[in-house]
Structure formats: C-alpha cells, structure tokens
A and B are shown apart, each in its own frame.
Chain A
Amino acid sequence: MDMPVPNAALLARKAHIVGRLQEGLAPGAVISEPAETRVYECDALTAYKCPPLAVVLPETTEQVAAVLRICHEENVPVVPRGAGTSLAGGALPTEDCVILGVARMTDVLETDYANRTIRVQAGRTNLSVTGAVEEEDFFYAPDPSSQLACAIAGNIAMNSGGAHCLKYGVTTNNLLGVTMVLMDGTVVELGGAHLDSDGYDLLGLVCGSEGQLGVVTEATLRILRKPEGARPVLMGFDDSETAGRCVSDIIKAGVLPVAIEFMDRLCIRATEDFAGAGYPDCEALLIVEVEGSAAEIDEQLGKILEIARRHDPVELRESGSAEESARIWLGRKSAFGAMGQINDYMCLDGTIPVSELPMVLRRIGELAEQFGLQVGNVFHAGDGNMHPLILFDANKSGDLELCEQLGAEILKLCVEAGGCLTGEHGVGVEKRDLMGHQFAPEDLEIQMAVKDVFDPKWLLNPAKVFPLASSASRRERSL
C-alpha cells in the first residue's frame, strides 16, 4: 500500500501552520508535539501508520469552519477523524496533513420523541445516541460492532451498517440531516427533521463519502421505539450450502428477521475454545433473531423453524429465557476476539447476492487452500455482507503480503458474483487500489468530478477511496 509523498513545503511551514491553528482555537485544542500526535498515527487498520503534521480537536461548528478555512488558505490536506475505529484506514494520516478530530463534539442538541428524531454533535458515539433516548424506550438502529467506541461522524462517513440492517437499514436510511463544513469553511445545512430532500439528495451523496466532501459536525437521526421483545434461534447444518439455502428460503417465505448471522466451523471452534457458548460442532451455524411481542415472536419463529427442519439441521436450539438468548448470541459476539486469540487476522467486508452464498463460500475455501492460509467466515447472511477473516502471522516475513493478496482475490470474487468490495467498512486505503475491479474508469471519473465540486483543491482526505494513479492529477492541484 502506497501513500503520496508528503509535501516538503508544508513540512517546512509546520510552525507557521500550527501557529495559525492555535490562534483560532482554545489552548490544548491543537496538538503538534510528535510524542502526542503519535496517538493519531493510525486507526483500527493498524498495519499502516504515519504521524500527522498536527491534530486539532475543535468543539463547535464555527471552530471546525475556522480550522478548514486556515487549512484551505495554506493548502494543507485535512483528514477528518471520528473515533478512529475505521477498519479500512479511512482516518490514516499523511505526514503533511492535519487530523481534524471531532472527539470533543459529543453533545446531544435536541431529543424530540413526538417527531422521533435526535440531533447530536457528530463526535458522539453510536451507542450513546441510544443511551440518550433509551429511558423513553427509543433506540438508534444502526449498530456496527464497534458501536461502543465509534462516532456518528465516522458512521456517516462510511455509511455504517451492523447486524440489524436487514430490518432497519444502514446509516443512510436513518440519517435525516447534517450540518457540514466544506473545505473552504462554508457551513451548509442538508436535510433536517423533515423527510426527504429539497432538490438533489446531497445528504444521500454525503453519507458514505468517507470524509472527502465535507466535515459533518452535527446530525439529525431517526430514532425508533424499541420492539416489545426479541428472541434468537440457533441452527446447525452439515454444510454451508444448506445453510445458505435455508437463509434464502426464510426470506422467500415472507418472514423478515431482524438479523440472520452465519458462522463456519473454524469460527465455531474458535469461539467455543474462547467463550464456551455450547455451539454444536458443525460446518455452518445460523443465528436468526425476530422481534415483537411474545406471541408475535412465536408466530415468526414457528415459520422459521418449519423451514429450517426441511433442511435437516443437525441442531435447532430455541431460547426459553433471556439467559438462553444471551448464550446463543455469546459465541457470535465474541467471534472476532476469539479469532484474534488464534492469530492475527484481516477482516474483509465484501457483499454478495444472498443466492450466491454457497458458490462464494466454496470458492473462498479453495482460494484459502491455494494460498495456504486459513479463512474463517462470520457474517450477516441476511443481507449478503460477508466478513471473511484471514488468519496470518504478522511476525512472519511475507505473511501480511500473502494475506493481502488472498484478500484481494476474495474481494474480486465478491465483485464477480454480482456484489461489491465493501458493504459497511468503506474503501479507505485498504480497498482503494481494487476499485478498478468494480468500476470502469468513467464510473470513477464522475465520482471524482463530484469531489471536484465540493473540494476543488482536493484537500479533504485526498489519498483515499480512488486509486492513487487515477486521482494524482487532481491531488497535485494544491501543490
């Protein structure tokens, strides 16, 4: 993975740039000592690291605008940062950039139960949005697994999903409005507490644009009343193709579970060693969860179990209590930690049409064998968002590169199957150079033309999303 050569002229002007930033912000809001900027040298994609020129931590939209205005005048690239939990390197700095962190912008600005909305500063964590409304039995639906730590700003940048998207959608389906600052310091309001857009759907365009179009400082989010209850059922199958067909049949039968999660044998064994959830030893396991009142849950699970039985499961485990439900989820929720115990791993994020699951799983197995690496599969089966985990040894020379090559092959496979490179993590730097496998040059050109409109100098998070070679001439505009 390459990053652009840092601009030596900017590095030479560091003291001047830092001085200007300090003028506009409170003491302590600008970090420039190398010992302190190191904290910001990477996000959750820890394979790549680079300390930034400086870090700013503003507290208001006006301060964000002031920072961006200065950086725009000085031609300094800006990398926006939420909580730094990106698995794709979305917040990876370059040596000549300013990191604009929104971690100090965490206020709830308005809760409005009658209109079912909440307005927050964008640095607020995902889970604490629900935390702010749960005393009234409301919740914010998108639930990425990093929800304890990740910020709404990052959720918007990556259009984050989670386990419950099948029913509730992803961030873009739950985002009603934003206050956003453009690279030149202009503040724009998109959307609001009302529905849909006046004119072009710029809100939809901004969501998932990986911090390349503007810096979101405030967001209006849709909140929902909590369902009366939820209950999972666990199913084990002898082969993953049968599990895949079962998923398809459940969906075709008209039941819309809130989540359908899949784990293969490698993951099942790892989580058993780690968490001891009592999962059956089988090739493929599904956890299907439905919501509603007790009677509604019974009705839906009745239909789901009837379908599952037609596929000769090796195990069907219903839950009779909150404790049993928690045990069913225990292994799934500890899957990533359990895999991490075995070895280092790289987590992929391709999405495929659900009907292609059996073929794709088989091909991943063949590719893993060919590369001599182990791949575990744990993912959201209902929406086809796969998370193959490739195990490798970071201390073994060449293993990371081999793992990256296998990862690229698996993602290409997802595209060939009719899917895409990333379902919820984003492109960042990780999948940047694979974009040509999913998009023709014209498809990428018009996306880059969109960035030209919002950020003509290409200063916002410039080295992400697009293959470096294709964005080179644009990124050189500010040099």
Chain B
Amino acid sequence: MLTPSNEREMAELVQDASGPLSLNGGGTRPIGSPVAGRALSTAALSGISLYDPGALTLVAGAGTPMAEIEAAVASEGQRLAFEPMDHRVLLGTEGVPTIGGAVAVNASGPRRVQAGACRDSLLGVRFIDGTGTLVKNGGRVMKNVTGYDLVKLMTGSYGTLGVLTEVSLKVLPAPEATASLSVAGLGIERAVEAMSAALGSPYEVTGAAHRPGGPDTAAVTTLRIEGFEASVTYRAERLKALLAPFAAVSVERDQEAVARDWQAIRDVAALADGEAAVWRISVRPSDAPMVVERLPEAEILMDWGGGLIWARLAEEVDLRAALSDLSGHATLMRASSERRARGDVFEPQAAPVAAIAEGLRARFDPRGILNPGRMG
C-alpha cells in the first residue's frame, strides 16, 4: 500500500505510476467492480486544517477519519447535515471511514430529503488528476459560481477522475431536540402516502423511513423532526394530527433512542445480516410501491419518503429487468466480488450520457490508471 504523506508526494506518485492504482480512504466502502491495481491510500492526508463555526465551514484532508470530524463539529454544537452512512455495517468491512471516502461515494443519509446530499454540503475540493496535476475547485464559501462546479463532479465519482486530497464542507447547527413519530401496520402504498403528507407539510420533517412487516413483525413508518425544544413539541403534535387518518401515532422523545433508531436506518442495519445481494434504488417516491411489488422476494427498507429503496435479494435475481420501465437508478451495493467483477453495478446510461462520462474520464485520467473499471 502506497501512503504518501502530503499532496506533493501524492502528485508525484500518480505522475510516476506505471500501471493502475486502486484508491483507498479507510477501505470501508468497496462499492463497484473490484479494481486490480497498486493500492494507494489517502490515510496520511489527514487532519482538520480549518474549522470556522461562525462561518459554518470546515476544511480537512481527504484521509481524515469521519469520527475526528464528527467530534470536532459536535464540540461546537454543529454537525454534518448530510448524515453520511457508515458502510461498515452493511458491507461487513473493517477500517476507519474517512471524509474523502464519504465524498467519493456521495454518502448521504436519511436527512438527504431535507438537508441535501453530500454533494450539497461540499464547498470545495483539491485533487490530483490522472496526470499527477493538482487541481482545486470551489472554495470554502457557501455561494460560489466562479467557473465550473467540479466539486459536484468529483462527489460520487468513486476515485475514477482524481485522487481527492482535501475537501471543504458546510456544516450546520446540531438541533437542541429531536423526536421520532412512528405509525405501525401500514401497507407500502399507505406508508408512502403518509410520508408524502408529512414531507409536504410545513413541519420540516428530516427523516421519513418505512420497514414493511414480516411474518413476526409489524410494518413501521417513522418520521423525524429536529430543532428547538418547544418547536419540536409543537411540530410533533401537528404531525400527529396530520397522520391520525393513517393510524395511531406514537412519539419517541428520548434523544438517545431517536439517535439510535436513525443511525440504524442510515446504516441499513435491518438488511445487514447474511450474504445476499443488496441494491440501492432511487425512484420518485410514488413509484416505490410498484418497485416493491415487482421484487416479491426482496427484504425491503425504504428511506427518503419512499424515494430510496434498499432491497436485499438473491444475487441471481435480474433486478434491472424487473424495473426497466421505471425512471431512476439502481446500484448493486453489496454482492460477491465475482458478481461485482462482472460489471453492471451502476445503472447503465443512455449512449450520449455514457459518451460524456467516457470523455470526461479520458481528459481527467488520460492513461486510465485511476480506479479503472470501478464504475463499470
């Protein structure tokens, strides 16, 4: 494993590389086709170089552990709004998740529906492209339209366009209080309707998830609200009234219990067991019941008000064929390395879009040495 200790060494290593490189942050997010190449780690590009709570911004090396960042912002009563998933739970990996890894896969949790994805919190990047050239884009201010937004392009590019060396993030105040509202026993269609009603209300719902029932368990639909104490109490009451036509609503106000429940949803803990394949499907929420209906064998967890569907099912099932007429996209998040090596992990793209992606890759990494094949 190559572990350069600064940006300049990283640039030299990439420039001098004679073959493919397999990029690593903490190695906890092996999503995509396996990459055959010399392992290159950002772990030593670690540390918070700037944290300005009054400006809601933080700058850190790509290899900085998530835990270090989360602790730093928590000490000022702030947090990362996009609630990045810890992939170790679902993928069974070990290691230290890094901020660069979260950015590379655009890891976004339940709050994505209200506060945006990782890409929406990312203000700036520094990266080494495939020729070994250092590039910077964006900055550390919240409004910036100076030149093209390569910050968005780099987020979720899985290390195929450049090696992230530093990221700059927007942080937000952590709430004083939280509450979870739960409704039991709803079918998929009613659950999506209930979540849509809540997300379309003025009560600022920051999480809307649903777990269908099983032979021994009842279906549970859960909503989250966050904010100042009196405001959370008020909105919990209003939402209870709004959801009354669906079923009885119970309210959890214990902070730790609420945090634990939403961390489990964020990390898809409900589907973590076993070896079966796990897909991550993004659709418009009203299409969610149809998706679930077409995957009768799947174990399901729904987030984002139905817009995000996690499905655990046998590796042999042809999910793409089942969903081919729906708009949206599906990613095979967990599967055997043999299955992932066959490609088709990411949604196939229309020819002109695929051509643009290929063109970008050819310019950012003309030798094709950065995580080649990872995105198929």
A binds B: yes
Closest A residue to B149 using CB positions: A208
Instruction: Report if A44 contacts B (CB, 8 A).
Output: no
Instruction: Report if B92 contacts A (CB, 8 A).
Output: no
Residues of B contacting A255 with CB < 8 Å?
Answer: 173
Residues of B contacting A447 with CB < 8 Å?
Answer: 137, 147-148, 150
Interface size, chain A (Cβ < 8 Å): 96
Q: Mark A303-314, 1 if CB is under 8 A from B, else 0.
A: 100000000000
Q: Is the CB of A254 within 8 A of B54?
A: no
Q: Mark B262-293, 1 if CB is under 8 A from A, else 0.
A: 00000000000000000000111110000000
Q: Mark A159-196, 1 if CB is under 8 A from B, else 0.
A: 10100011001101100000000100011111011111
Expressed in whole angstroms, the minimum distance between the Cβ of B67 and any Cβ of chain A is: 22
Instruction: Report if A27 contacts B (CB, 8 A).
Output: no
Residues of B contacting A438 with CB < 8 Å?
Answer: 146-147
Residues of B contacting A409 with CB < 8 Å?
Answer: none
Determine the distance from Cα of A353 to Cα of B352 in the docked complex, in whole angstroms. 39
Expressed in whole angstroms, the minimum distance between the Cβ of A142 and any Cβ of chain B is: 11
Q: Mark A433-470, 1 if CB is under 8 A from B, else 0.
A: 00100111011101101111110000000000100000
Instruction: Report if A419 contacts B (CB, 8 A).
Output: yes
Q: Is the CB of B231 within 8 A of A201?
A: no
Instruction: Report if B112 contacts A (CB, 8 A).
Output: yes
Q: Is the CB of A424 within 8 A of B145?
A: yes
Expressed in whole angstroms, the minimum distance between the Cβ of A202 and any Cβ of chain B is: 6
**Contact-size category for B:** 35 or more
Instruction: Report if A2 contacts B (CB, 8 A).
Output: no
Residues of A contacting B134 with CB < 8 Å?
Answer: 442
Q: Is the CB of A426 within 8 A of B145?
A: yes
Closest A residue to B197 using CB positions: A114
Residues of B contacting A446 with CB < 8 Å?
Answer: 129, 133, 135, 150, 363-364
Determine the distance from Cα of A159 to Cα of B157 in the docked complex, in whole angstroms. 21
Residues of A contacting B283 with CB < 8 Å?
Answer: 194
A201-B152, A202-B356, A355-B52 known; A385+B143 contact, CB < 8 A: yes
Q: Is the CB of A225 within 8 A of B231?
A: no
Q: Is the CB of B234 within 8 A of A296?
A: yes
Q: Is the CB of B137 within 8 A of A443?
A: yes
Residues of B contacting A172 with CB < 8 Å?
Answer: 120, 149, 152
Residues of A contacting B228 with CB < 8 Å?
Answer: 296, 299-300, 303
Residues of B contacting A292 with CB < 8 Å?
Answer: 231
Q: Is the CB of A199 within 8 A of B231?
A: no
Expressed in whole angstroms, the minimum distance between the Cβ of A138 and any Cβ of chain B is: 8
Residues of A contacting B54 with CB < 8 Å?
Answer: 247-249, 251-252, 354-355
Residues of A contacting B360 with CB < 8 Å?
Answer: 200, 450, 453
Expressed in whole angstroms, the minimum distance between the Cβ of B121 and any Cβ of chain A is: 10
Residues of A contacting B331 with CB < 8 Å?
Answer: 198
Determine the distance from Cα of A194 to Cα of B347 in the docked complex, in whole angstroms. 14
Contact partner of A384 among B143, B174, B328, B347, CB < 8 A? B143
Contact partner of A450 among B150, B156, B307, B327, CB < 8 A? B150
Closest A residue to B358 using CB positions: A453
Q: Is the CB of A422 within 8 A of B230?
A: no
Residues of A contacting B349 with CB < 8 Å?
Answer: 198-199
A-B contact pairs, 16 of them (CB 8 A): A159-B149, A192-B284, A195-B117, A201-B157, A204-B149, A209-B148, A225-B200, A228-B202, A248-B54, A254-B176, A351-B141, A351-B144, A353-B57, A422-B144, A435-B147, A453-B363
B residues with a Cβ closer than 8 A to A are: 52-57, 76-77, 106, 108, 112-113, 116-117, 119-120, 129, 133-137, 139-153, 155-157, 161, 172-176, 193, 196, 199-202, 227-228, 230-231, 234, 282-286, 304, 307-308, 327-329, 331, 346-347, 349-350, 352-354, 356-357, 359-360, 363-364, 375
Given contact pairs A201-B157, A205-B150, A300-B228, enumerate 13 new A-B contacts (beta carbons under 8 Å): A165-B142, A195-B282, A196-B112, A208-B145, A209-B149, A254-B173, A293-B234, A295-B230, A353-B55, A385-B143, A423-B141, A447-B137, A450-B148
A residues with a Cβ closer than 8 A to B are: 112-117, 137-138, 158-159, 161, 165-166, 169-170, 172-173, 182, 186-190, 192-205, 207-209, 225-228, 247-249, 251-256, 292-293, 295-296, 299-300, 303, 351-355, 380, 383-385, 418-427, 431, 435, 438-440, 442-444, 446-447, 449-454, 465
